[in-house]
Amino acid sequence: MKKILLGILDRDGSLLVDSGKIPLTRFTREEAKRLGRRPLLAESGQAGRLFLVSGDLFRKTLYEAEILEQVSPLSGALIKALIKKGVISQDDLLKNIQREQKETEPLQKLCGLVIGHKKRSPGAVNESAGITEFDFNDRLSVMIERRVKRVQVQRIYRRTYRELPDDINSLGPDFVVSLHCNAFNKKASGTEVLYYHRSLAGRQMAGVLLESLVNQLYLPNRGIKPKTSEDRGGYLLRYTTMPVVIAEPFFIDNDQDLETAQSDLEGLATAYAAAIDEMGALA
C-alpha cells in the first residue's frame, strides 16, 4: 500500500521529514535489490521546497516514489493535522490529489512524439537480444504518452523519411520529440540529444530532455549536439516548422546500455514524460 510523505526535497534524491532523511527511488524493492538504489532526483526548482511524495515505504526508504505536488508550509501543517485526527486517510488524500491534478492542469500544448524508423525499416538492432530500434521505441512511446500530464501527445509514425517533415507540419504540434537509439561499434555508450543548430528553443528543449534522461539512466553524458541540414537527422530538424529534438538515450547495440534501459522502462518513460511536460512551457 502506498504511503504519502510530506517533506522537503533534497538535491541528493531524498526527502527531509520530521523523523529524518528518507531516500527516494523510482525502483521497486525487487529492482533495487538487483540494480542498486538509484535516487529520484529533484528537478530544477524543486530542491529545498515542501512536497507531497507517494511511494512504498520500507525500512526508511521510499520505493516507487512519485513527487505529487508542492504545498505551502501552512497547507502542510493542515494536512498533517487532518491525517493525525483521522479526518482524512492517506488513501483519500492520494485520490483527491490525483483528481485535482486532472481537473486543474489544462492540456494546452501539443507534442508530436515521433517513433523513429518503421516496422519494415526498423533502424539499429541489438543482435544478441533481437530487439530493434523501432520495436523498443514503439513500446516506449505508449508508456510515455500515458505519463505526460500537462501536454497533449500525438504519436507519429513514419511513412517515408522524406514525407515525415510535411506529415508533422500538417499535424501542427507545438514541438516534437523523435525517439531513437544510437548504435556504433557495440562498445560506445552514453546519452545525447540532437537539435537544429539555428533553433534557440530546440537547444533549450534538448537541454531539458538530456538532463532528465541522464538522471534516469546514469550513462555517460554525451551532451546536446547542434546539427545542420546535412548532418544525420538534420533533414527532419531543418524542414519542420516547430522545434524538434532527437533523443538518443543509449546505444542499442551495446548490451550493457540496453540492459540499463530495459531494467527500468517505466522509469525511462517517466523521465521522458517529465521532460515533455517541462518542454511544453518552452514551446
> Is the per-residue pLDDT at 28 higher than 90?
no
Of the chain, the percentage scoring pLDDT greater than 90 comes to 65
What is the CB-side half-sphere exposure of residue 272 using CA atoms within 13 A? 33
Confirm if 2 and 246 have CB atoms less than 8 A apart.
no
Q: What is the mean pLDDT of the chain?
A: 90
Better-scored residue on pLDDT, 113 or 13: 113
Among 129, 140, 162, CA closest to 235: 162
> What are the chain's domains?
3-102 (no CATH), 109-280 (3.40.630.40)
Give the pLDDT of residue 154: 95
Q: What is the arithmetic mean of pLDDT over 205-223? A: 96
Tens digit of pLDDT for each residue in 45-88? 788 889 989 899 998 999 999 888 888 887 778 877 777 777 77
Tens digit of pLDDT for each residue in 136-167? 999 999 999 999 988 999 999 999 999 999 99
Give the cell for residue 164: 515525415
Better-scored residue on pLDDT, 89 or 183: 183
What angle, 0 to 180 degrees and rounded to 10, lies between the N-to-C axes of helices 133-147 and 265-280?
60
Task: Report in angstroms the alpha-carbon separations of 99 from 68, 142, 199, 275.
Answer: 12, 22, 37, 22
Of the chain, the percentage scoring pLDDT greater than 70 comes to 94
Which residues make Cβ contacts (< 8 Å) with residue 202, sequence separation at least 6? 195, 196, 237, 243, 244, 245
Alpha-helical (H) ranges within the chain are 29-35, 73-84, 90-104, 133-147, 164-171, 200-217, 234-239, 255-263, 265-280
Give the pLDDT of residue 66: 87
> Is the per-residue pLDDT at 108 higher than 90?
no
Confirm if 112 and 154 have CB atoms less than 8 A apart.
yes
Give the pLDDT of residue 98: 63
Give the pLDDT of residue 102: 55
DSSP secondary structure string, 168-185? HHHH--SEEEEE--B-SS
pTM: predicted TM-score of the whole model, two decimal places: 0.67
Task: Report in angstroms the alpha-carbon separations of 2 from 65, 203, 205, 241, 274.
Answer: 9, 38, 33, 44, 21
User: What is the length of the chain?
Assistant: 283
